[in-house]
Each structure stands twice: as C-alpha cells, then as structure tokens.
Amino acid sequence: MNPHDTSALAIASASSIVLNPPSTPGSRCRSTIGMTRCYAATMALDPTLLDILACPEDKGPLLYFAADGFLYNPRLKRRYRVDDGVPVMLVDEAQVLSEAEHQAVMAKAAAEGVRPNFS
C-alpha cells in the first residue's frame, strides 16, 4: 500500500479510523467502537438470492438498483440498503421515501429498465 494514498485508508482522528472511505455514489459507512467501515454500493446481489427476495412487510416484489446498492418497494415507498452484496431486509432499517423521492426512483427505474424481481 502506498503510504501517501488516502483513498484506501484515511485517519479521521486519533481515535477513529475510516477504512475505504466512500468514493462512489451510494457508498455508505457504519461506525463501531473507534472504527468506521464503508461499504461500496456496487457489489451485486447473487441472482439466485434476488429471485427469492420479497419485501418483509407486504411480501411483494422489489426493484433492484445494483449500481446504487438498494432494493425498493414502490408500493410502500421503502428503500432497503445492500451492504457488500448483503440485503438488509429489516423494516426498521428501511428508509421511507417522500413522494418526490419516490417519483425520482420510479423515473430512474423506467429510464434504466429496472423491473420487479418477480411477478
């Protein structure tokens, strides 16, 4: 590792280290005791897993945005994050989108040809 390369390892403070700081849209970080781990949103879900995933609340299909690292339930306007290829399918962890955010996600789905993972 190049000691002058701060993209792989950045020291945020004397007591906190950030590994792989987010550099792509959709990346996210999780903090634990003295350390922050960042997840790239670009790791794709296994196609077999995607085929069986359903919203934990209404049991319906989801839209998968691989490049942005999330699954979306347009019926409930809920976004479920995907961390390192692992979907976080907890209702309490889901983000409820506003109507404007919902419209933007649906426009993105239409533009990119994103379809429900099952029918």
Helix runs in 24-117, H state only: 47-52, 99-112
pLDDT given for residue 3 in this prediction? 46
Tokens representing 23 are 């550099």
pLDDT tens readout for residues 49-86: 999 999 999 999 999 999 999 999 999 999 999 998 99
Q: Which domains are seen in the chain, by residue range?
A: 9-39 (no CATH), 47-112 (2.20.25.10)
28-32 and 16-19 beta bridge pairing: unpaired
Q: Does the pLDDT value for residue 12 go beyond 90?
A: no
Identity of the amino acid at 102: H
Q: What band does 28 get if pLDDT is binned at 50, 70 and 90?
A: low
pLDDT at 44: 85
Spatial CA neighbour of 87 closest among 73, 76, 104: 73
